[in-house]
Structure 1
């Protein structure tokens, strides 16, 4: 009797392992899954929710969104009210998941100019193409590396738990950055900045200063590269660390912990507060 029970348990266990490893996903790599949905006029947001996958967004001459997933897991592409949703899910039990590299390619209309929300659990994110214009772009990054190029966005929001973000050429009216841990490096930036950095490095090279800058840093470093002809009034305070500016300032007060002054007309306000770390303005 015991042998029969043991045999049944073994058969049941093998069934579960076989089913979880091969159902929908095939052997090891899981093959490719595809999905697509038309971007109708009522769609105002493309929402991308992915985890543990390297994602590439590719603008093309098309009127729909197509996603291709290579590797284990399931893929959903659907219209949900005024949203078009692209979502991946990884199977809970997969003996080969540690060795595989999942990749997701998302093809979107190159003339899409509404809103896009991206939630990335881990992995990587990259934009492929010459440029992209959007109304709102929101990034919620759990862990992973992000590379973005040539974006023109009315409202840009970045919320990062950890990982590294590199952006080359970002023009926006307002940019909001919330960085818990990691590094954020932006080159060729234009627009207002509201940044809250808990721990990490925040570096911005600005092509044009045309609005205010507010940076609150708990621990880490801030590098702010401004145009030579920038007109600003600076209020900088550091509890532990240093703040310095290479710009000649009409200074009202200056020491290692505090720096206040104006450059040029002083038109745009720069307010930087640091609990622990260093600030370099150049």
Structure 2
């Protein structure tokens, strides 16, 4: 079974399972407790005892001259994006997989683009569920262009980046961003929480999750127009809001020059001022 289909099945099982819990809510009360939402990602965060298997330890270094785009795709495992004082990009793919079915790791430079992939789609389900893999991407601090990352099952962590655009997707996993400066930030997950903590808002921000919480922290002097919505859950904001009801919040903070759009189908939204 291909990885995309597997992840969709897993997500479907999760949503169906928690749908039973949702039915027990009062039909006139669409609020969810934090504990209910946090349990959606139990399979992501739980400590597992992984079976012993082949060790994955692959590393590649690529020169960054003339690079405008970095594209990352990993079927399974966590993604860490780290900014360093360096002139090249270092990719380290490591961990363990069960049985003898090794993932296919590739990292190549093509024109002005670096393409990184870790493919486990040919592995069977038992191999997937007993895997523990991590993809670490070390990029130069002076890289200011575009980055895109897609993880089918795993968490994404990125910090201390200054880019033109950052686009991160995890079909089943959490996304955590800290101190990111970019003209456009886009994050999306089908089943997982999104946490974004910015020291400065200098562009548009989009965050979407089908099942999970979104927590956003911004400086108190930020300028943005807010469009936040939940289908089942709560919205809390430290910033003054013009138009607000239980499930939709819109407003202009400061001069409103940056757009912030947050959406969750089943989860809580929190917008903190710091």
Whether 2:210 is the aligned partner of 1:157: answer: no
Q: Tell me, yes or no, if the aligned pair for 1:235 and 1:271 is still in contact at 8 Å.
A: no
Per-residue CA deviation, residues 206-233 of structure 1 (Å, 9 max, x unaligned), is: 522412111233222212122xxx6x6x
Per-residue CA deviation, residues 237-261 of structure 1 (Å, 9 max, x unaligned), is: 45xx7x8xxxxxxxxxxxxxxx999
1:60–1:280 distance in 2 versus 1, CA, 3 Å: closer
Who is 1:183 aligned against? 213
Who is 2:157 aligned against? 126
- TM-superposed CA distance for 1:146, in Å, is 2.1
Q: Pick 1 or 2: higher relative contact order, CA cutoff 8 A, min separation 6.
A: 2
Distance 1:139 1:125 in 2: 8
1:117–1:262 distance in 2 versus 1, CA, 3 Å: closer
Distance 1:145 1:275 in 2: 15
The residue correspondences of 1:257-272 to structure 2 (distance < 5 A) are none
Aligned to 2:131, what secondary structure does the other structure show? coil
- Counting helix residues as a fraction of each chain, which structure ranks higher? 2
Distance 1:93 1:221 in 2: 40
Aligned length: 211
Q: Tell me, yes or no, if the aligned pair for 1:28 and 1:97 is still in contact at 8 Å.
A: no
State which of 90, 110, 117 in structure 1 corresponds to 2:141: 110
1:165–1:155 distance in 2 versus 1, CA, 3 Å: same
Larger radius of gyration: 1
TM value normalised by structure 1: 0.63
Unaligned runs of 5+ in 2: 1-51, 98-102
Distance 1:66 1:274 in 2: 34
Runs of 4 or more, structure 1, over 4 Å off, are 94-97, 259-263, 266-282
Per-residue CA deviation, residues 180-220 of structure 1 (Å, 9 max, x unaligned), is: 22112122x2xxxxxxxxxxxxxxxx522412111233222
Whether 2:53 is the aligned partner of 1:28: answer: yes
Aligned to 1:102, what secondary structure does the other structure show? strand
Unaligned runs of 5+ in 1: 1-26, 190-205, 244-258
Distance 1:137 1:84 in 2: 15
CA RMSD of aligned residues (A): 3.6
1:112–1:276 distance in 2 versus 1, CA, 3 Å: closer
The residue correspondences of 1:130-209 to structure 2 (distance < 5 A) are 131-169=160-198, 171-187=201-217, 189=218, 206-209=219-222
Whether 2:91 is the aligned partner of 1:74: answer: no
Who is 2:115 aligned against? 85
Distance 1:268 1:173 in 2: 11
Aligned to 1:123, what secondary structure does the other structure show? coil
- Counting strand residues as a fraction of each chain, which structure ranks higher? 1
TM value normalised by structure 2: 0.65
- TM-superposed CA distance for 1:32, in Å, is 1.0
1:105–1:281 distance in 2 versus 1, CA, 3 Å: closer
Who is 2:243 aligned against? 235
Distance 2:234 2:244 in 1: 13
Who is 2:37 aligned against? none
The residue correspondences of 1:42-53 to structure 2 (distance < 5 A) are 43-53=67-77
